[in-house]
Amino acid sequence: MNEIIAAFSKKTTGYPEAERERIVMASIWAHELHDTQLRASGEPYIVHPIGVAEILIELKLDADSIIAALLHDALEDTTATRSAIAERFGEDVALMVDGVTKIAGLNGENKSQQEAESIRKMLFAMVKDVRVILIKLADKLYNMRTLAFLPGERQKSNAQECLDIYAPLADRLGISWIKDELEDLALKHLNRDVYDQIKRIVALKKGERADFLSKVQEGIHREADAAGIRIEVSARAKHFYSIYQKMRKRNKGPDDLFDLLGLRILCDAEDDCYTLLGTVHRLWKPIDGRFKDYIAMPKANGYRSLHTTVMAYDGKLIEIQIRTREMHRIAEYGVASHWLYKKGSTNEIVRVHDLSIVNRLKAWNGLEADGDRPVSSGAFLEDIKRELLKDSIYVFTPKGNVIELPSGSTPIDFAYHIHSAIGDHCVGAKADGSIVPLTSELKNTQVVEILTAQSARPHLNWLRAARTAKARTKIRQWLQLNDDSLIIEREIIAKKKHPPVPVPPAPAHGAEPIQTVIRGQTLPGATLHVRVEDEKNMMIRFAHCCSPVTGDPIIGYVSRGRGIIVHRRNCRNVAGIPDFEQRKIEVEWETASSRLVKRFRVEARRASDLFSEIEGAVRKHQGHLIEGRLEETASNRLTGFFTMELEEKDDLKKVLKNLRGIPSVIAIQTIP
């Protein structure tokens, strides 16, 4: 037996003999299939599937999951077929392997569209069997651990993908240690200077605070022993990416953060958690606003714990987490605890059908099956990032039911979440008893009541305010069926115009052409289809010469044979287009508002906290960074390109002044 296979075999001893034999058989077959292939590191390819399988063994998943992990690249990279996998190891294994296999060549689509479609396929496969995503997370984690062997640009793109998709997925599934490691590894490759600085300071503070932490632990043990409560207390350093997020949020360097270390208390019973909380608050003064009860109100991923921050000895702050041992296992394993406890040793597991992300994906899958959702893979992925993988808020119905919505949601989103009929007829809303606009942003823990009237109807402005895919889909659907002045398909809304503009190809049956195009997202270069009456061959494209983004002043041009081309109004190429005045068409963004999207270039001296300083300067005037990157130049300086969104156009000068005031910034220039 190969040495690599033999070493792996020793790690499967926790499985029954029959299952262990199947796992070893799968590892031998995987080695044969990948026999001549090498990793970027120069190692035999088999080290990768075995590494992925070992991560799942650490999660204590079942034998079928381990076998699927060993074969997860077989369909994509070898001659193995799905039927061969099913014949050898069963249909469940074949389904999982197929679920994690990337989609190859989608009719010549570009790489980003292909990746987006592969992610969509994987997420919907997860609805059928959540083990698909656990295999993919293990695959990503192993690849992130070995990322140094890839070229620099691929390192950064893979690290960013992990931050955008896979770390949030691990969080939604409750597997905290995978989420933490993915985030830390991503930070290491995206901003190595900050990563090294945080690592150094955490190690330093751990040494400085050893006596302090020991003294706090002794105090807790003494009081718990007196109360007859059996506990374990351990010190923990916060993971580096969470420290980095705090640096950006508070606009501080790691030297200025005092809560880099904390304590975790484990006990046996839920009642003991609250007793210990009272004990900790008697020993030291709690800090107002820093207590969270995730036992009474668990997170959507099943996480339960008490969090409090107290001012302990010598006025030093320390965060303390209190949970039972069972809660701690759930916090570490999340949805994987379904297999960890499959023999029924505890009732305290995270069940797949209880997970918010799985149920919401099921609902989205249902909408797609009914043809109610856009099928654009890019749009789907953006919805996933915005709605399922970003922060959530929890609001209450008047009857006390908890509703989870993406952060930034409005009463319109709440209404459509309850029922589409409620959404279609809402006229107003109350939050905590006070009347609020339908377009206002809801806040965590508010009690929301929707006011309805039979005469109320959805209108176009709701589309600008709605944040959830369900609300936007239902509003579009209603407008399409009931407003004859609008033409709506997928992400495009168009208003009919009189007199008609000649639009090639000529619309069938005397259909009226398009006058106004409103678009929800920026997908430069993407092709979007618009229906005009019975004609579905119209296309809208975004000009490559000026690549307009949301917020730019834009103008449309009806091109012969190519549909409508959207340019920036100040695009130099527009003047050279024949018959432009006769063929131009007015267009606007769906999210049209007073906000301004602006790109800028920064040249600066090396500084580890430059990114957070730039973000802080933009935030001072209620703006936010949409994207940004910093690169080191040959002269040991940093060059950065950023895109920011500002609430008002008049804020631009103020923000630029703040940016120029950053000590390390040498020059700053806006990009047209």
Q: Could you tell me if 11 and 158 lie in one domain?
A: yes
Q: Could you tell me if 158 and 199 lie in one domain?
A: no
Q: Is residue 356 part of a domain?
A: no
Model pLDDT for residues 573-613, shown as the tens digit of each residue? 888 887 788 777 767 665 545 567 788 888 888 776 777 78
Q: Could you tell me if 96 and 123 lie in one domain?
A: yes
Q: Could you tell me if 167 and 255 lie in one domain?
A: no
Q: Is residue 591 part of a domain?
A: no
Q: Is residue 450 part of a domain?
A: no
Mean pLDDT in residue range 284-296: 89
Weakest-pLDDT range from 343-357, 464-478, 546-560: 343-357
Q: How many domains does the chain have?
A: 4
Domain boundary among 554, 585, 616: 585
Q: Could you tell me if 568 and 636 lie in one domain?
A: no
Q: Is residue 399 part of a domain?
A: no
52 CB-near residues (< 8 Å, 6+ apart): 69, 70, 72, 135, 138, 139, 142
**CA separation for the pair 321, 389 (Å, rounded):** 24
- The catalytic site residues sit at 76-77
Contact 2, 34 (CB under 8 A): no
Weakest-pLDDT range from 280-289, 371-380, 436-445, 566-575: 371-380
Q: Is residue 134 part of a domain?
A: yes
Residue 604's CATH number: 3.30.70.260
* pLDDT score recorded for residue 185: 94
Weakest-pLDDT range from 200-209, 382-391, 631-640: 382-391
Domain range for 110 is 3-172
Q: Is residue 124 part of a domain?
A: yes
pLDDT at 91 over 70: yes
- φ, ψ (nearest 5 deg) of residue 406: -65, 145
With cut-offs at 50, 70 and 90, classify the pLDDT of residue 453: confident
CB atoms within 10 A of CB 312: 20
Domain boundary among 314, 340, 366: 340
Helix 111-128 crosses helix 91-100 at what angle (to 10 degrees)? Answer: 150
**CA separation for the pair 475, 127 (Å, rounded):** 26
pLDDT at 225 over 50: yes
Q: Is residue 364 part of a domain?
A: no
Whole-structure pTM value: 0.62
* pLDDT score recorded for residue 271: 93
Q: Could you tell me if 27 and 165 lie in one domain?
A: yes
Mean pLDDT in residue range 330-342: 66
**CA separation for the pair 66, 96 (Å, rounded):** 11
pLDDT at 512 over 50: no
Beta strands 317-324 and 306-311, pairing class: antiparallel
Distances 641 to 47, 544, 669 between C-alpha atoms, Å: 38, 19, 10
* pLDDT score recorded for residue 93: 93
Q: Could you tell me if 575 and 621 lie in one domain?
A: no
**CA separation for the pair 150, 316 (Å, rounded):** 43
524 by DSSP, 3-state: which?
coil
Model pLDDT for residues 231-278, shown as the tens digit of each residue? 999 988 778 888 888 777 766 665 556 567 789 999 999 999 999 999
Instruction: Using the structure block, give the residue that is written with the tokens 């302990």.
Output: 312
Mean pLDDT in residue range 25-50: 91
* pLDDT score recorded for residue 530: 33
Residue 325's CATH number: 3.30.460.10
Could you tell me what percent of the chain has a pLDDT over 70? Answer: 74
Contact 662, 600 (CB under 8 A): no
Q: Could you tell me if 204 and 301 lie in one domain?
A: yes
- Give, for 631, the enclosing helix (H) or strand (E): strand 624-632
Beta strands 492-496 and 486-489, pairing class: antiparallel
pLDDT at 173 over 60: yes
* pLDDT score recorded for residue 27: 94
Contact 604, 638 (CB under 8 A): yes
Domain boundary among 534, 557, 585: 585
pLDDT at 517 over 70: no
**CA separation for the pair 660, 647 (Å, rounded):** 20
Q: Is residue 576 part of a domain?
A: yes
- Bond prior to 505 in cis (omega within 30° of 0): yes
DSSP state of 335: G
* pLDDT score recorded for residue 343: 40
Q: Could you tell me if 214 and 307 lie in one domain?
A: yes
pLDDT at 524 over 50: no
* pLDDT score recorded for residue 131: 84
With cut-offs at 50, 70 and 90, classify the pLDDT of residue 550: low
**CA separation for the pair 410, 406 (Å, rounded):** 10
Beta strands 665-671 and 596-605, pairing class: antiparallel
Q: Could you tell me if 207 and 310 lie in one domain?
A: yes
Q: Could you tell me if 14 and 150 lie in one domain?
A: yes
Distances 292 to 140, 173, 295, 296, 299 between C-alpha atoms, Å: 31, 20, 9, 9, 11
Mean pLDDT in residue range 421-433: 88
* pLDDT score recorded for residue 374: 45
Q: Could you tell me if 255 and 282 lie in one domain?
A: yes
Q: Is 547 left (phi over 0), alpha (psi -120 to 50) or beta?
A: left
Q: Can you give the C-alpha Rg of the chain in angstroms?
A: 28
